[in-house]
Structure 1
Amino acid sequence: MTYALPPLNALRAFEAAARHLSFKLAAHELHVTPAAVGQQVKALEARLGVQLFERLHKQLILTAAGQAYLPGVSEGFRHIAEATSQLKPEGVVLLQLGVHASFDLRRLDLAAFRSAHAEIGLRVLQPAGLHELVEGKVDLLIARSLGHHPGYRCDRVTEGTGLGDWLIAPEGTVDCPEIVSFREWLRTVMDERARASRRPRLVGGVGS
């Protein structure tokens, strides 16, 4: 069966813009420019022959057609995501972790995570950045100096006020069990290391 579908990139642009009611925030989520999102939406409107948004001064509003179209598009993406997840091997949930190039993986005892969570098949891609996360090549990302990114949950990995490392995952998947397990494990590891670094050290005895 052949499906008459608009380009998927145009549908992604519409769905993100409709959720945020902002081309700018949609662009941040999709890692493109606001102009690119606007062009994709305009092309989609031309293809469908209907106006999906009212473009007011500093405001974006869904038209009646846009409101009617959004639930089906969002549901379609959800079905695709679910069908993709069902392709994973039975009994093992694959978790793709992206890591920025300068992060020293020796800081993490990933073997300990794999031992504690045998039901999760952890794979690591390094180097990786936001592009790989947006494209779905990784499920979550340890990134440098990205404390806020619309459409994503960002958790601080390291303490301090510097640039630091952040664990980033799409808001739509942050509650997936495998991502929750890794986030909690990573938080425990880093908390233990922080406490250990603050413990006083004995540097010598004091004579009486």
Structure 2
Amino acid sequence: MTYTLPPLNALRAFEAAARHLSFKLAAHELHVTPAAVGQQVKALEARLGVQLFDRLHKQLILTAAGQAYLPGVSEGFRHIAEATLQLKPAGAALLQLGVHGSFDLRRLELARFRSAHAEIGLRVLHPAGLHELVEGKVDLLIARGLGHHPGYRCERVDEGSGLGDWLVAPEGTADCPEIVSFREWLRALPVANPLANRRPRLVGGAGS
């Protein structure tokens, strides 16, 4: 059976924009520009022959067609994600960690983590950034910046304010056992007491 599907990037742009009701926040999540999201959605509407959004002044509203389309698209992405997770080797929970290029990996004591958590197959991509997290190449990211990423849970790794190192995970998977284990490991590390007594920051907002 051959499936007739729109381009995946266009579907991702629609699904993110529909959840946030904002091209701007969808762009933050997908690590592209708002204009790129708008263009992808416009191309999808042209391909489908229906209007999915009403674009009002500083407001984005789903049309009846958009409201009907969103649940199926979201469910499809969920099934793909679940099917992908089933590919993990039996008995091993894989955790793909991305780390920005200037971070000193020795701070993480990864050999000790692997020894203490033999049930977790930890893989590290270094360097990595938000693009790799958005594309699903990593499950968890230590990023350099201000920690403002809509749709993601951001927790500061180092001390201080302003630019710093942040542990960033998609809000939907931020509490999965593997990520919780790594987060707790960071909190227990003695050097600079990373993540100690810090509450997660959830960043969101409205507007298009």
Q: TM-score, normalised by structure 2?
A: 0.89
1:146/1:162 Cα in 2 relative to 1: closer, same or farther (>3 Å)? closer
Aligned residues: 193
Query: How many angstroms does 1:162 deviate by?
Result: 4.2
Residue 107 of structure 2 aligns to which amino acid in structure 1?
R
Listed as ranges, the gaps of 5+ residues in structure 2 are: 194-208
Greater mean alpha carbon deviation, residues 108-117 or residues 149-158? 108-117
Alpha carbons 2:125, 2:138 under 8 Å: kept = yes
Q: TM-score, normalised by structure 1?
A: 0.89
State the match for 2:2 in structure 1. Answer: 2
* Superposed CA RMSD: 1.1
Residue 183 of structure 2 aligns to which amino acid in structure 1?
R
State the match for 2:102 in structure 1. Answer: 102
- State the identity %: 89
State the match for 1:203 in structure 2. Answer: none
Residue 30 of structure 1 aligns to which amino acid in structure 2?
L
State the match for 1:22 in structure 2. Answer: 22
Higher percent of residues as helix: 1
Distance 1:173 1:112 in 2: 24
Distance 2:161 2:122 in 1: 30
Alpha carbons 2:97, 2:138 under 8 Å: kept = yes
Q: Which has the higher contact order (CA 8 A, sep 6+)?
A: 2
3-state SS of 2:191 partner? helix
Distance 2:145 2:60 in 1: 30
3-state SS of 2:106 partner? helix
Q: Which has the larger radius of gyration?
A: 1
Query: How many angstroms does 1:194 deviate by?
Result: 3.9
Query: How many angstroms does 1:116 deviate by?
Result: 1.7
Q: Does residue 168 in structure 1 map to residue 168 in structure 2?
A: yes
Alpha carbons 2:107, 2:191 under 8 Å: kept = no
Query: 1:108-147 maps to which residues of 2 (within 5 A)?
Result: 108-147=108-147
Query: 1:23-172 maps to which residues of 2 (within 5 A)?
Result: 23-172=23-172
Distance 2:47 2:27 in 1: 21
3-state SS of 1:193 partner? coil
Listed as ranges, the gaps of 5+ residues in structure 1 are: 196-208
Distance 1:164 1:73 in 2: 36
Query: What does the per-residue CA deviation read over 1:68-95, in whole Å, with 9 as the maximum and x for residues that have no partner?
Result: 1101100000000000010010000111
